C-alpha cells in the first residue's frame, strides 16, 4: 500500500514537469475564459530582457518604475493589446507579468506571472476586470488612456505605442 501511495505522489510531482517540458497545458489554454468567443488564443512571449524595456510614466506619486518589453507589444486582431510588464520597486523588488488591455471595453487581464528563473505561471485571477479611473497609483489607467488606447481606440502598431510612451519622458 505504501508503495502505491509513493508512486501516486511521484506521478503528481513528475507529470507537471513533463507537461511543462513538452509545452502541454499552460499556454495552450491560457485564454480558457473567453469573452463571447472573441478573444484570440494567446501564447506566452519570451521572458523580458533588460535592453528591450521601455519605461512609461504613471504619476507623480508613483514610487515604482514601470516598463513594457518592446518586443512583446502586440495589437491583436481581437482588439486586445498584449505586453510584458516589469515593475521595479524602490526597495529592489521586481515583478514581471504578461497582460492585456481591451481598449473597446476598458478592461485589463493578467495572463501570467514571471519568475526570476525566466519561467511563467498562470495568474490565479486571470479574468477581465474594469480599469479603475480614479487611482493615481494604478499603472493600467495611464497605460490604457495615454499609451495603448488613446481616446478609447487601440493604437495601430507597437511603434505608435512606444512613441506615446516616449513623448511623456
Q: Count up the domains in the chain and report the number.
A: 1
CATH label of the domain that carries residue 87:
2.40.128
Instruction: Note whether residue 142 is domain-resident.
Output: yes
Instruction: Note whether residue 13 is domain-resident.
Output: no
Question: Which pLDDT value is given to residue 134?
Answer: 73
- Taking the alpha carbons of 9, 10, 11, 13 in that order, is the dihedral positive or negative? positive
Cα-based angle 30, 160, 126 (whole degrees, multiple of 5): 20
Question: Which pLDDT value is given to residue 24?
Answer: 38
Exposed/middle/buried for residue 62 (C-beta within 10 Å: 0-12, 13-18, 19+): middle
- Whether 66 and 58 have beta carbons less than 8 Å apart is answered as yes
Instruction: Note whether residue 90 is domain-resident.
Output: yes
Instruction: Note whether residue 94 is domain-resident.
Output: yes
Instruction: Note whether residue 62 is domain-resident.
Output: yes
Give this prediction's pTM.
0.76
Please list the rounded mean pLDDT of every run of 10 residues in the chain (169 residues): 42 39 42 49 88 93 94 95 96 96 96 96 92 82 95 96 89
Write out the residue range of the structural domain in which residue 144 sits: 45-168
Instruction: Note whether residue 76 is domain-resident.
Output: yes
Instruction: Note whether residue 24 is domain-resident.
Output: no
Question: Which pLDDT value is given to residue 127?
Answer: 93
- Taking the alpha carbons of 74, 76, 81, 83 in that order, is the dihedral positive or negative? negative
Mark residue 118 as left, alpha or beta (left: phi above 0; alpha: psi -120 to 50; beta: remaining).
Answer: left
Instruction: Note whether residue 106 is domain-resident.
Output: yes
Question: Which pLDDT value is given to residue 10?
Answer: 37
Amino acid at each position: 500500500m505504501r508503495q502505491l501511495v509513493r508512486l501516486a505522489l511521484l506521478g503528481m510531482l513528475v507529470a507537471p514537469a513533463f507537461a511543462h517540458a513538452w509545452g502541454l497545458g499552460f499556454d495552450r489554454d491560457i485564454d480558457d475564459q473567453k469573452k463571447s468567443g472573441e478573444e484570440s488564443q494567446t501564447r506566452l512571449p519570451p521572458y523580458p530582457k533588460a535592453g528591450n524595456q521601455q519605461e512609461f510614466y504613471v504619476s507623480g506619486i508613483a514610487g515604482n518604475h514601470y516598463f513594457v518589453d518592446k518586443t512583446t507589444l502586440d495589437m491583436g486582431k481581437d482588439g486586445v493589446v498584449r505586453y510584458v510588464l516589469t515593475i521595479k520597486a524602490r526597495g529592489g523588488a521586481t515583478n514581471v507579468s504578461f497582460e492585456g488591455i481591451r481598449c473597446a471595453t476598458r478592461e485589463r487581464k493578467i495572463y501570467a506571472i514571471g519568475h526570476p528563473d525566466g519561467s511563467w505561471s498562470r495568474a490565479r485571477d486571470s479574468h477581465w476586470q474594469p480599469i479603475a479611473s480614479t487611482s493615481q497609483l494604478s499603472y493600467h489607467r495611464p497605460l490604457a488612456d495615454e499609451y495603448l488606447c488613446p481616446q478609447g481606440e487601440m493604437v495601430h502598431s507597437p511603434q505608435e505605442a512606444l512613441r506615446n510612451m516616449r513623448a511623456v519622458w
